[in-house]
Amino acid sequence: MTKLKDKYAILDRDGTILVEPFDKQVDSVAKFSFKLGVIEALIGLKAEGYKFILITNQDGLGTSSFPTEAYREVNDLMLGVLRSCGIVFEAVCVCPHFAAESCGCRKPSPSLLPLHIREGHFDKASSFLVGDRDCDLELAQTLGIRGLSCATKDWSELMKTRDQSRAWCFERVTSETAVRVRLSNASAKNEIRTTLPFFDHMLDALFRFSGLSVAIEATGDTDVGDHHLIEDVAISVGQVLASRASDKRGIQRFSQWTPMDESLSKISLDLSGRPSFEFVGAFPRDTIGGIDTEMLVHFFKTLAFEMRITVHIELSGLNTHHQCEALFKGFGLALRRALRSTGPGLVPSTKGVL
């Protein structure tokens, strides 16, 4: 099993974790207070498996204008309170210079950050930086991670924004096909171009009902048939959905059924980590929208194996188009139910792991 890369919340201090005082210098306990909701948010992030790094510019630290003892008293108090809540920083990076000194370590420079962060050896898609200044957001951009501004948002709003803006990408290029997929939590318009219009329409239905949105760009050797393209789209979509579903904490896990006029899809999912696929049903027509109907079954089978989940599909009906709608919408709805958050909590398994 490959080790998952670590995901990080990289945090500014003043104006982000602590309230920034009128003179912008937290040099006494009298000026010390946490920002609203920060501790609760960090506890939530820790439960999601995030690691923490602090990076802060402390102008003139160690000079007469900002004695080290005054800084240390406040900083130790902050770290102590957070540590008591289980929040520990993997690194605390402090630039002590004034802007006028033109040092090389002042934010937005990433030079104080640990080497594996600077070299990008971490889960960039899930990681983010929170700060209240432009230099913070610039640093996020340099690192290639999302930058969230807490200048005008409190931490509970910030965490909602983070959920909405999370995205998972997958790219697969072979001698037969090229597929790029970007999946997002936001319920935005889907952008799907697979060169198979009917397939685009069906994938749009799936994601519209899943509560997720997707951008898919796929091309391939459709001159020899649609098999390679549909299969590789399924592999790629399966991979991003597997990433999306990898955090099992607080999800619903199980799902149920979807009718479309006379057609009915009964789709049951178990985000179990064990690939399994059962299909019972038949299409009245061999092709629809220029696609072999057997490829629709193959699509879901491939998806199930890539996502490493159990999928049972029973499909009945008299109209192939209705059946397809019921099938793809049903899968989207089933996915939505299975991924729905039931609040922070335990992994839904008697074994404690999925």
Q: Which residues are catalytic?
A: 12, 14
Q: Tell me: does residue 15 bind Mg ion (CB under 5 A).
A: yes
Residue closer to Mg ion, measured from CB, 133 or 266:
133
Residue closer to Zn ion, measured from CB, 106 or 321:
106
Are 240 and 183 in contact by the 8 Å Cβ rule? The answer is: yes
Cβ 328 to Mg ion shortest distance, Å? 46
Q: Tell me: does residue 253 bind Zn ion (CB under 5 A).
A: no
Q: Interacting stretch for Zn ion, rule CB under 5 A, among 90-98, 229-237, 264-272, 297-305?
A: 90-98
* Position among 7, 97, 301, 321 found at the interface with Zn ion (CB under 5 A): 97
To 5 degrees, how large is the angle CA 276–CA 281–CA 285? 125
DSSP class of residue 317 equals -
Strands 258-260 and 287-288: unpaired
* Position among 7, 8, 14, 233 found at the interface with Mg ion (CB under 5 A): 14
* Position among 7, 10, 12, 107 found at the interface with Mg ion (CB under 5 A): 12
Query: Taking the mean position of all CA atoms in its chain, how far away is CA 188?
Result: 15
For residue 31, the SS3 value is helix
Residue closer to Zn ion, measured from CB, 32 or 98:
98
Q: Using CA of residue 232, residue 235, residue 236, residue 237, what is the dihedral sign?
A: positive
Binding partner of residue 97 among Zn ion, Mg ion, none, CB cut-off 5 to 8 Å per kind: Zn ion
Q: Tell me: does residue 231 bind Mg ion (CB under 5 A).
A: no
Cβ 9 to Mg ion shortest distance, Å? 15
Binding partner of residue 14 among Mg ion, Zn ion, none, CB cut-off 5 to 8 Å per kind: Mg ion
Cβ 32 to Mg ion shortest distance, Å? 15
Are 265 and 280 in contact by the 8 Å Cβ rule? The answer is: no
Strands 51-57 and 89-95: parallel
Residue closer to Mg ion, measured from CB, 15 or 110:
15
Letters for 22-61 (x = contact with Zn ion by CB under 5 A, - = none) are: ----------------------------------------
What's the chain's Rg over C-alpha atoms? 25
Cβ 147 to Mg ion shortest distance, Å? 13
Long-range contacts of 25-34 (CB under 8 A, 24+ apart): 25/59, 25/66, 26/71, 26/74, 27/66, 27/67, 27/70, 27/71, 27/74, 28/70, 28/73, 28/74, 29/73, 29/74, 29/77, 31/74, 32/74, 32/77, 32/78, 34/78, 34/81
Identify the residue whose tokens are 């200048």: 151
Q: Tell me: does residue 13 bind Zn ion (CB under 5 A).
A: no
The packing angle between helices 227-244 and 197-210, to 10°, is: 10
Q: Tell me: does residue 147 bind Mg ion (CB under 5 A).
A: no
Cβ 138 to Mg ion shortest distance, Å? 13
Identify the residue whose tokens are 């289980």: 86
Q: Tell me: does residue 95 bind Zn ion (CB under 5 A).
A: yes
What's the rounded Cα separation, in Å, for the pair 167 and 184? 4
To 5 degrees, how large is the angle CA 135–CA 137–CA 139? 70
Q: Tell me: does residue 107 bind Zn ion (CB under 5 A).
A: no
Letters for 106-145 (x = contact with Mg ion by CB under 5 A, - = none) are: --------------------------x-------------
Q: Which residues bind Mg ion (CB under 5 A)?
A: 12, 14-15, 132
Q: Which residues bind Zn ion (CB under 5 A)?
A: 95, 97, 103, 105-106
